[in-house]
Copies of this chain bind each other. A is one copy, B any other.
Amino acid sequence: MKEFIREDKQAFLNSSRFCQGLAPEIIMDLAAISDPVIFPEGTIVSSTGDGYADVLFVVSGLLRVSMSSSSGRRVTVLLVKCGECYNLLSPYLANSRIMEAKALEITRCLRVKAGNFIAFVESHPTIIANLLQIIGSAFDSANSRILDFMEKKVENRIMRVLSTLHNKFGSPLHFTSVEISEIAGTTPESTLRAMGHLRDLGMIETRRGQIRILNPKALDDREFGDLSI
């Protein structure tokens, strides 16, 4: 990859959610401790228990953050796209966490080493607000998913997932039934059945590896809104 020059890094960081509203000096400091890094499609960036603790800002591509059980079931926790970041918490957690990160496409990132990130945050405590806002919405989202499991049928969970993905990635969506099922917490078969029904209702169109949302309003979750994934 062509090396980022410092101005590029600053311009990119300035547009990321993590840096919203920060003073330019602070962003400059962050740019100074970040290195470009690139992951080919399919790369396992970090896996369960490996203690990977660097923070990544995704410049382009897509990282899937998931956790799996020993029986092989996987739940997708985050889809980290351009402008978002991965592993904000890990620099602070001594015991290795349970997440795995994989590059679903070729993905370019800015990497900040764990130690540098901690020092950076401590010297610029105003960062904390942004950091906690990101963590907080992820936490609320995780808990609302638990409520969804308790009271929603599969089709409604799928609807919420499709609505969220549509608002995040636009239309058409490039996800397979397996990927959707790992977000919604169900099986590929049930996902296909549910999407078949939504197709009959005229809300979506599906092709191989592609989902087009025709009626975004109808998919909206009125109660808790979009997921933070």
Binding site for B on A (CB under 8 A): 67-71, 73, 75, 77, 89, 92-93, 97-99, 118, 121-123, 125-126, 128-129, 132-133, 135-136, 138-140, 142-147, 149-151, 185-186, 223-224
Contacts and interface: CB of A to CB of B under 8 A. Distances in A.
Given A93-B132, A125-B125, A132-B89, A143 B142 contact: yes
A143 B75 contact: yes
A93 to B, nearest CB: 5
B146 A142 contact: yes
For the residues of A in contact with B, the DSSP-based class is helix
A73 to B, nearest CB: 5
Contacts of A186: 150
Nearest to A186: B150
6 contacts: A73-B147, A89-B132, A92-B129, A92-B132, A149-B149, A150-B185
A146 B185 contact: yes
Contacts of A68: 147
A147 B67 contact: yes
A75 B147 contact: yes
Contacts of A145: 146
